[in-house]
Amino acid sequence: MKLVRYGDVGSERPGMMDGDTLRDLSGVIDDVTGDTLNDETLDRLRSIDPTTLPEVSGNPRLGACVGHFGKFLCIGLNYSDHAAETGAAIPEHPILFFKANSAVVGAFDDVVKPRGSTHTDWEVELGVVIGTEAKYVSKENALDYVAGYCVINDVSERHFQTQLTGQWTKGKSCDTFGPTGPYLVTRDEVSDPQNLAMSLDVNGKRMQTGNTATMIFTVAEIIEHLSGLMTLHPGDIITTGTPPGVGMGMKPPTYLNVGDVMELEIEGLGRQRQEVKMDA
pTM (2 decimals)? 0.96
**Cα→Cα distances 193→119, 196, 216, Å:** 31, 6, 13
Contact in structure between 203 and 122 (CB atoms under 8 Å): no
Confidence of residue 96 (pLDDT cuts 50, 70, 90): very high
Whether residue 36 is predicted with pLDDT greater than 80 in this model: the reply is yes
Q: pLDDT exceeding 90 applies to what percent of the chain?
A: 93
pLDDT digits (tens, 9 = 90+) for 211-261: 999 999 999 999 999 999 999 999 999 999 999 999 999 999 999 999 999
CATH 2.40.128.20 for the 72-278 domain, yes or no: no
Per-residue pLDDT, 67 = 97
Per-residue pLDDT, 74 = 97
pLDDT digits (tens, 9 = 90+) for 128-141: 999 999 999 999 99
Per-residue pLDDT, 128 = 98
For residue 269, the one-letter residue type is: L
List where CATH 3.90.850.10 sits in the chain: 72-278
DSSP H helices in the chain: 39-46, 80-86, 158-163, 169-172, 219-227
The whole-angstrom separation of Cα 101 and Cα 174 is 10
Whether residue 118 is predicted with pLDDT greater than 80 in this model: the reply is yes
Per-residue pLDDT, 83 = 77
Whether residue 95 is predicted with pLDDT greater than 90 in this model: the reply is yes
